[in-house]
Copies of this chain bind each other. A is one copy, B any other.
Amino acid sequence: MRLLVIYDIGDDGLRVHAAELLKDFGLERVQYSAFAGDLTKNRREMLEIRVSALFAQDGRCRPTDRVYVLPMCDDCFGGARFLGQQAHFPDRRRDRFEVL
List chain A positions with a Cβ less than 8 A from chain B.
4, 6-8, 30-34, 48, 51-52, 55-56, 61, 63-73, 75-76, 79-89, 98, 100
**11 new A-B pairs (CB below 8 Å) besides A63-B86, A67-B83, A72-B76?**
A7-B31, A34-B68, A51-B83, A52-B83, A61-B100, A64-B85, A65-B84, A67-B100, A69-B80, A71-B75, A76-B76
Neighbouring B residues of A86 by C-beta, 8 Å: 63-64, 66
B68, A87: Cβ atoms under 8 Å? yes
Top 4 closest pairs, chain A to chain B, by CB: A66-B84, A55-B100, A69-B81, A8-B31
Is A68's CB under 8 angstroms from B83's CB? Answer: yes
